[in-house]
Structure 1
Amino acid sequence: MTTERSAELERYAERLLERARRHGATDAEVSVESRLSALTRFADSEIHQSVTEDTVRVNLRYVQGRRYGMAATGRLDDAALDTLVERAAANAAGTAETDDWPGLPEPGPIPDVTGAYAAATGEATPELRAGIVREVIAAADAAGVGAYGSYATGTVTTAVLNSRGVRAVQTRSDAWLVTVHMSPDGGTGYAETCAVDVADVDGAALGREAAGKARAADNAVVLNPGECPVVLEEYAVADLLAKLGRCGFNARAVQEGQSFAAPGVRVAGDLVTVWDDGTDPAGLPSAFDHEGVGKERVSLIDRGRCVGLVHDTGTAARAGIRSTGHALPAPNPVGPLPTNMFMAPGRLSREELVGRLDRGLLVTRFYYTNPVDPKRAVVTGVTRDGVFLVEHGEIVAPVRDLRFSQSYLDVLRRVSAIGRDRRTVRGWFGGVSVLGDITVPAVLVDGFRFSG
């Protein structure tokens, strides 16, 4: 089925390109994305919804000299083809010439990515998802807490073709389970995982993790604001990298003078090494970006120093280099983003990280985080679903959630130890709808300032 769908989308894109040429386009780019997604939701330890959605989105970039226009549709019939071309052409005619228009990308190497699709995920049934959810609920029941959340499975087939000869087609799959457990006494616990293959999603383990946090968070105490050492679990670290990826390692932000990143600048402690790699099967692999350019592994931070940025065709042309394969769907006001981020692990277990705290906090995750000073990477937000006071290396009490306005760069600069185990979670990139992931360990930070 995936091969047939890929071939169908490629044929459709070819027909649309031909129509654009006949209409008068000097160049054209077609991106077609077909999504088959299914979702099982649960609340108060009961499954209450199971839905399936089959959607398609077609983007046409119509180029006329140094002008270009975009149009999109959710239909694949011939009438929609003609209307799409006319709309994109009209949009191009109504725009000013772009002085630094780099042109559409030329064909280039696309990595041979394995492990991006699992048939079991693509064929997952409501009964399969319900079985995993029941494991989550069983763990909640055993702990006397309520389970809430969702389990989504799906496939995405993407075809990107342009008039310069780019031909890129791929099918990917992902399974994403997230749950929040709530105790009658006020504690909440969070757990999340994502994988290419549904076989790698362990509902029972995730349920036990969330239930244990919820029970441990009962009857939380109020802690005065201030600065203290913290152990940030993987969910919190993933938020750090997502925000820094958007604000800093995005080449457009650098070129517009809105980023902290520059070659050789120290942005983290010596232990911190971060990169982006869409071909690594440990995450959710992807062979190419939304311009059909093959993804490259890009080193972002090497032992604390900034060493690289991610590029799309536009930012790469301005820098005099080739795109690294990090374009988002056009029109794109954000710029290129690292959407398959990894942080190098350390050597310590979670217990050993916590054991190094004389007096500090263990933080599960951050919530509702937003950059308020992108150039300094200052982010405001709140802790969520499990904050614990640690004294002499032992957890002694749950703590009510705390607000913060903190430079995420300062946080990384004060990393003094890193966990050996890593977790892969879905990446959130500020409202950008892309299938991304972040694979990170927990970290020990010598100081984190909370405001209340």
Structure 2
Amino acid sequence: MSRDPVIAGTPSADKLLRLAERLVGYAEVQGATQAEALVQGGDRYLTRFANSQIHQNVGETDVSVQVRFVMGKRIGVSGTNRLDDESLRRSVATAAEIARVQPELPDFTSLPEPGPIPEVEGRYAHATAEASPEERAEGARAVIGAADAAGVQAFGSFATRLERTAVANSLGVRAAEQRTLSQLITVCMGPDGEAGYAEAASVDHTGIDPGALGREAADKAGRSRGAMLLEPGDYPVVLEEYAVVDLLDMLGYLGFSALAVQEDRSFFEPGKRVGSDLVSIWDDATDPSGTPTAFDAEGVGKQRVQLVEGGVCREVVYDAYTAGKAGRGSTGHGLPAPNPWGPFPLNQFMAPGDTGREELIGGLKRGLLVTRFHYTNP
């Protein structure tokens, strides 16, 4: 739990936790057999640029609450971003009204019990929490400079945000944290439609090199000049990291969720071979090399889950609902209620190979280098 002072406009994580506890108390007074409150606050800032000019700088500070009201096997959810006491009580009452008219969920067993929450390093960077518009503008300027040098135009955005989250429930779950995230995305475009893409995300915005991203995107735009139509067919491809991330996200949505398995709509079967021996995928929100977080939206500590090992299916991720149905514990992958999608692996990693990018490309007689996919949705 963070005890750092408030950096910007969002209340501290401790204050958000006390607010969550109040909401749980209000729900119990209203007759809830179980109750949960999720409170999320953030200071989010964004600098946009287009045609190699900064055209927008915006910021938002907001705090929202969501109350899950349980009456036996009936559940109602309500939320608000109005934090006066009357509005909070009204939101709880609304959740209670919704619960009373909901059909029972026969497979619901319980909200999560308290459990260990891991100590996670590297989730917060003071530099990102305090990042100024001038710093984001300097990043945009570096991208634009790289584009200018290559004779193309730069488009994109540079975002920084501070997020604080707290979860409490009537069974004793208490969790609170603060974290930061920054992301720079750019597309460089030439006069004849040639384009190149690059992006980076980091807990610490000073770890992003805007000039390098600008050069990467501008170089791709330059290399795509004079592009030819490609006949439909089967081609060997080399996928850049951006395309791989897109595929992994879709695999997580389609198959690595316990709900997808329980509803018989997943390819996943433990022990089933789904890929090469070289393919190993896992989810680990505690790894500081990613964008770490200590717990999920239900206040359950994050666990590392081996999804695929050596091309073979191993495990899927669980939230409290799917874990209760399976008679096991949650892996800490719950999303905010109401949640029709089930648990989701938000922090996937893929084991690297021992062949470099240029060597992979050089190994193709005639093939494609794919930077990213557009609207992947099978």
Amino acid at match of 2:285: G
Tell me what 2:252 maps to.
245
Is 1:346 equivalent to 2:353 in the alignment?
yes
Residue 39 of structure 1: SS of its match in structure 2? strand
Partner of 2:218: 211
Sequence identity (%): 56
Is 1:334 aligned with 2:341?
Answer: yes
Give the alignment of 1:290-369 within 5 angstroms: 290-369=297-376
- Residue 17 of structure 1 aligns to a residue whose secondary structure is helix
Corresponding position of 2:39: 32
1:173-322 equivalences in 2 (<5 Å): 173-322=180-329
Other-structure match for 1:46: 53
Separation of aligned partners in 1, 2:311 and 2:75: 40
Amino acid at match of 1:179: T
Cα deviations across residues 53-85 of structure 1 (Å, max 9, x unaligned)? 111221000111221111010111101111011
Runs of at least 5 residues in structure 1 that lack an aligned partner in the other structure: 372-452
Instruction: State the distance in 1 between where 2:104 and 2:227 align.
Output: 59
Task: Tell me if the contact between 1:12 and 1:76 (Cα under 8 Å) persists in the aligned partners.
Answer: no
Deviations 1:349-380 (A, max 9, x none): 11111011111111111111112xxxxxxxxx
1:200-253 C-alpha deviation (Å, 9 max, x unpaired): 010000000000001111121011110011111111111111111110111100
Work out the CA distance in 2 between the residues paired with 1:2 and 1:269.
48
User: Which residue number corresponds to residue 135 of structure 2?
Assistant: 128
Q: Which TM-score applies when normalising by structure 2?
A: 0.97
Whole-angstrom CA distance in 2 between matches of 1:239 and 1:18: 41
Q: 1:185 Cα deviation (Å)?
A: 2.6
Tell me the matched-pair count.
371
Residues 314-351 of structure 1 deviation map (CA, whole Å, 9 limit, x = unaligned): 11111111000000110000010100000000111111
Aligned partners of 1:155, 1:142: CA distance in 2, in Å? 34
CA RMSD of aligned residues (A): 1.0
TM superposition shift of 1:95: 1.0
Q: Distance in 2 between matches of 1:74 and 1:39?
A: 21
Amino acid at match of 2:112: P
After TM superposition, give the deviation of residue 149 of structure 1 in Å: 0.4
Does the CA contact (< 8 Å) of 1:190 and 1:213 recur in 2? yes
Aligned-partner Cα distance in 2 for 1:331–1:2: 29
Instruction: Specify the SS of the correspondent of 2:234.
Output: strand
Structure 1 length normalisation: TM-score?
0.81
Q: Of Structure 1 and Structure 2, which has the larger fraction of its residues in strand?
A: 1
The residue correspondences of 1:93-172 to structure 2 (distance < 5 A) are: 93-172=100-179
Q: Is contact 1:2–1:171 with CA below 8 Å preserved after alignment?
A: no
Aligned mates of 2:6, 2:24 — CA distance in 1: 22
Contact 2:110 2:324 in 1 (8 A): no
Instruction: Report the AA paired with residue 89 of structure 2.
Output: D
- Rounded to whole Å, the distance in 2 between the matches of 1:13 and 1:77 is 13
SS in structure 2 opposite 1:92? helix
Aligned to 1:407: none
Distance 1:83 1:205 in 2: 51
- Note if contact 2:301-2:332 (Cα within 8 Å) is conserved in structure 1: yes
User: For residue 122 of structure 2, what is the amino acid of its counterpart?
Assistant: G
Match of residue 79 from structure 2: 72
The residue type paired with residue 214 of structure 1 is A
Q: Which amino acid aligns with 2:351?
A: A
Contact preservation (8 Å) 2:17, 2:166: yes
Q: Return the match for 2:97 from 83, 90, 100.
A: 90
2:17 to 10, 15, 26: 10
Cα gap change, 1:104 to 1:128, in 2 (>3 Å):
same
Deviation (angstroms), 1:122: 0.6
Amino acid at match of 1:237: V
Secondary structure of the corresponding residue to residue 368 of structure 1: coil
- Cα distance, 1:2 vs. partner? 4.3
Q: Give structure 2 stretches of 5+ with no counterpart.
A: none
> Does the residue aligned with 1:154 lie in a helix, a strand or coil?
strand
The reply on whether 1:370 has 2:377 as its aligned counterpart is: yes
